[in-house]
Every structure is written in C-alpha cells, then in structure tokens.
Amino acid sequence: MKSQLPKVLHPLAGQPLLNHVINTARSLNPERIIVVYGHGGEQVPDAITGDDLVWVKQTEQLGTGHAVAQAMPEVDAAATVLVLYGDVPLTRQETLMELVGYSADDFGLLTVHLDDPGGYGRIVRNKKAQVTHIVEHKDATVEEHRITEVNTGILATNAGRLRGWLEKLNNDNAQSEYYLTDVIAMAVADGVKIKTCHPDSEMEVLGVNSRAQLAMLERQYQRQQAEALMAQGVTVIDPARLDIRGEVNIASDVILDVNVVLVGRVSIAEGAYIGPGCVIKDSRIAEGVQMQPMCVIEQARIGADARIGPFARLRPGADLSANTHVGNFVEIKNSKVGEASKINHLSYIGDSDVGARVNIGAGVITCNYDGAYKHRTTIGNDVFVGSDCQLVAPVEVGDGATLGAGTTLTRNAPAGDLTLSRSKQKTVQGWKRPVKKSS
C-alpha cells in the first residue's frame, strides 16, 4: 500500500477494511471475535472498537498458521473456528453460513475457480474429486500450476482438532513460514472429510494488496449497493457514479442523480429527488423533497415537499418543516424553519427558530456569536425580512413583522409593524471619482 497506515485500516465505502470483516462476522452471532494483529500494528486496536473483540498480538510474522495459533488459547476446544482475513472485505454472510454448516462433523473450506490462479495456493484433489491437500504457488509443480481451483484461506472446523494440527506445523517450505494450508492434509490423514463451497463471485474473496485493488473493490461494492437499491424501486441515474458510505434506507420512486454521496445513516422517503453532486450525511429526507445540485446536508432533517438548493448547506441541527424553500448559497445551522418558509438567496441562519410562512431576503445574517457564546434568534410567523438585514442575537421578531432592507436589528421587533434602521441618504454634489494619473 506504500502507506504509514496499516493495510486493514484503509477505507472501503468510508470504513476500514477490517470493519467490513468484523461486521460480517458479527452477523453470524459468534461467541467471540478474535483479531490477530501484527507487530507495529498498534494503530489497529486503537482504531477499531467493540466490546466483543479480543485482540491478540502476533509479535513475529511467521505465516498464517502461526497467526491462527496465537488465537487458539482464547478458543474453547468444543467451539467451531471460522478463519477470516482482515483485508478480504466483501465476503457475504450467506457464503459463510454455508461454510460453517459444513464444519459440524467435517472441515469446511472456501475455494474459488480463477481464470488466472497465479500466486494462489492450489486445491489438489484425487481421482474421486476429494480434496487431499493444498500446495502453495511457490511450492507447486508445473502440473499443479495448471489447477484453477484455488484456496481462499477462509475455513471452518472444530477448534480442538485445529489446535492439534497447528501444533504439528513446520516451516519446511519455500517461504520458511508455518502455512495454515498444511492442516488440510493433516485433516485428510485423520479421516476428516474436506467439504468445499464456493462464493457467488470471486469478488467475495479478493484481498487488498495495493491501492489499485482497493479502488477496484470499492467500485464493486458500490455497484452492488446501487443494484440492490434499483431492485427496491430506486432510480439510480448512473450506478457507476453513486457512493454509499454507511447504512441507507431509501424508499421506492426516489431518484438519485449522478455523483451523489451518502454517508452514515441516511433515510430518504418516497418520491424524493437528489440532484447531481449532493453529499448527505446522517440525515432524514422526507417524501417529495426536491434537492437541486451540489447541496451538502449533515445531521439535518428536511420535511415533505421541501425544495433545497442548488448549492445549499444544511449543518448539524438544521430542521426544516414541510414545503420550505432553501436556495442557492444559503447556510442553516442548529435552527428550526417553519412550514412554507423561504430562505432563497445568500443567507446564513444559525441558532434560530423561524416560524411558518416567513420570507427571508438575500444576504440576511443572524449574528449568533458574540465571540464567546452563541445566542438564539426567534422569528415569528408571517414575517418578512428584507435583503441585507443583520439580526443581532438574542433578538425576537414578532408575528407579521416586516424588517426593512439593510436593517441591523439589535432590539426586538414588534408584531405587525415595520422596523428599519438606516442612515439618512445624502448626495454630495460635485464629487469627483479618483482617476489614475497618466504616465
């Protein structure tokens, strides 16, 4: 990876590779999850959290068999052991459930057929098509190199048996490592049947060893997410240009235009349209919302049939009611906006409570910060705020009030009246604009 960051912490769909593996393991309801990490990899347990995780340090990297052996003191002899890999993020729960099902009395092994098996350990079978052993690529003969069925490394078997086989491993091979694959031949010698199953796609078992491979798996993952949404009735304009980096709940007849990015927990209700280039994080979008291009939404709620953007930013705590309009270059933070209110142009609304049917003109700012503390602005129903007003919080505007354009409001504005603050306009006759002197 050519990186200071441990490989398993590189992100896929917004979370570390290892998190994907752990989450899949959790879906199987295991008694415990043991994570073996290498020397110098202290960043890994610091970055990945979970009370259900047992961390075991492998101080010397002596091969996969040695790594699994480090975990065995944490495993009950009667348990079933499922071995997964922190850099293989896309293995499906269904595939692993089938594999674990094979391990009750036998040995479950996940294999895959590849057109180009180079670099992988080959599955060697006898004339009865029974697995006899696995040979690593560097140790394989010319004939064994022609085998296209390869080992994924993912296996499930009885812990007590596995512990005994691991104790017999040696490193008499081309890499001087303790190969986990050698336990296959030991199992066969002990009369244990090797049962193999295969993933639906080779993408399930591909690991990450470079940034190019990481990018390839990212696009594969995103394509799967897009196809799942389309199968549920969501329109994805271009499945190759959608990024989902969290848990999304998207209803039917939603349209996701190109280059939409969904992060964290995002809920989008029926009939909403999300325009090109929008980024939505940890937010709830109600039915019928029309979101124009290039909006950034974070920890916000948008009510039914609202119209947002283009180029709007809703920051944490923005709570918009139904039929609201928030237009271009408007920023809203920690504020409630009542039904049918409009903030259409170049305004900042922060730490405010805005009533229903309010019209806020261009360039309006709620001045909520005094340099030390935040203060709230309260705007009643049916208020008209003219362009280029500054509302210096804490301040209240009564129902039906009108603020004249250019007003700097420092005291409460009474309901139903016009409030304005402007200096007297004057014209200086005979004034000349400065001009540059000719050289």
Residues with catalytic function: 345
Nearest to 390 by CA among 422, 425, 358, 417: 422
Count the Cβ atoms, other than its own, within 10 Å of residue 384: 16
Contact between 86 and 68 under an 8 Å Cβ cutoff? The reply is no
For every residue of the chain, which 3-state class applies, written as one string?
Answer: CCCCCCHHHCEECCEEHHHHHHHHHHCCCCCCEEEEEECCCCHHHHHCCCCCEEEEEECCCCCHHHHHHHHHHHCCCCCEEEECCCCCCCCCHHHHHHHHHCCCCCEEEEEEECCCCCCCCEEEECCCCCEEEEECHHHCCHHHHCCCEEEEEEEEEEHHHHHHHHHCCCCCCCCCCCCCCHHHHHHHHCCCCEEEECCCCHHHHCCCCCHHHHHHHHHHHHHHHHHHHHHCCCEECCHHHEEEEEEEEECCCCEECCCEEEEEEEEECCCCEECCCCEEECCEECCCCEECCCCEEECCEECCCCEECCCCEECCCCEECCCCEEEECCEEECCEECCCCEEEECCEEECEEECCCCEECCCCEEECECCCCECCEEECCCCEECCCCEEECCEEECCCCEECCCCEECCCECCCCEECCCCCCCCCCCCCCCCCCCC
Give CA–CA dist 59/176, Å, rounded: 17
